[in-house]
């Protein structure tokens, strides 16, 4: 019977480890708990000394195993999917205007709003992200903008509704295909594929 106690303890600890890799909504954890408690009960049914040995093994092993899980889990496939990757500052922070030439170069440029601007947000101008402020109008994500002025590190923009040929000067939108207007995809919305 003592062999069953140690076997159930080992299977219970294995189920705890398996919980790291298999999303089971806690079912494996419950099974592991039942197996570990059963192994302790079987140990005490054999004798008090065997029961104390199995209980001590469970009490010592489980916290160490949980500490190891905390260290290892972020590197498992499940942990990588759930946790955010380390972001670099250039991925999330806008660029700052460093000199007068850059200020003069930005004024009058066309760009795309990367976030909704009420009144501030992030814009993409000439392939670079800048923190910008909209002058009096709300700007939706993906809308065309024009840089009005640069004062200090603040880029002031306005919505741009220019002619078609000037629109081509805009940098390409980094939107997915489902968020683009149907006209840009070359699809006639009135076409009925069933006819």
Q: What is the DSSP letter of 98?
A: -
For 76-108, the pLDDT digits (tens) are 777 777 776 665 665 555 555 666 677 778 888
The pTM assigned to this predicted structure is 0.41
Residue 101 in 3-state DSSP? helix
Token output for 54: 């199995």
Radius of gyration of the chain measured on its C-alpha atoms: 30
How much is the pLDDT for 167?
Answer: 41
The answer to whether residues 130 and 122 touch, using CB atoms and an 8 Å cutoff, is yes
Phi, psi of 149 (to 5 degrees): -160, 165
For 11-20, the pLDDT digits (tens) are 988 888 887 7
What residue ranges define each of the domains in the chain, with the CATH number in brackets?
2-82 (no CATH), 89-166 (2.40.50.140)
């Amino acid at each position: 019977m003592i062999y069953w106690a140690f076997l159930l303890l080992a299977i219970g600890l294995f189920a705890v480890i398996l919980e790291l890799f298999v999303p089971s909504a806690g079912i494996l954890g419950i099974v592991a708990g039942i197996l570990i408690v059963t192994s302790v009960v079987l140990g005490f049914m054999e004798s008090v000394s065997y029961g104390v040995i199995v209980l001590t093994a469970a009490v010592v092993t489980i916290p160490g195993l949980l500490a190891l899980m905390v260290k290892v889990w972020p590197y498992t496939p499940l942990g990588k999917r759930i946790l955010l990757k380390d972001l670099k500052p250039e991925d999330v922070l806008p660029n700052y205007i460093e000199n007068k030439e850059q200020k003069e170069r930005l004024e009058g440029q066309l760009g795309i709003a990367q976030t909704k601007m009420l009144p501030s947000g992030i814009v993409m101008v000439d392939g670079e992200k800048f923190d910008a402020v909209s002058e009096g109008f709300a700007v939706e994500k993906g809308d065309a903008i024009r840089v009005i002025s640069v004062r200090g590190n603040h880029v002031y923009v306005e919505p741009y509704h220019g002619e078609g040929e000037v629109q081509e000067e805009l940098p390409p939108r980094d939107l997915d295909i489902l968020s683009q207007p149907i006209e840009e995809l070359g699809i006639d919305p009135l076409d009925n594929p069933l006819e």
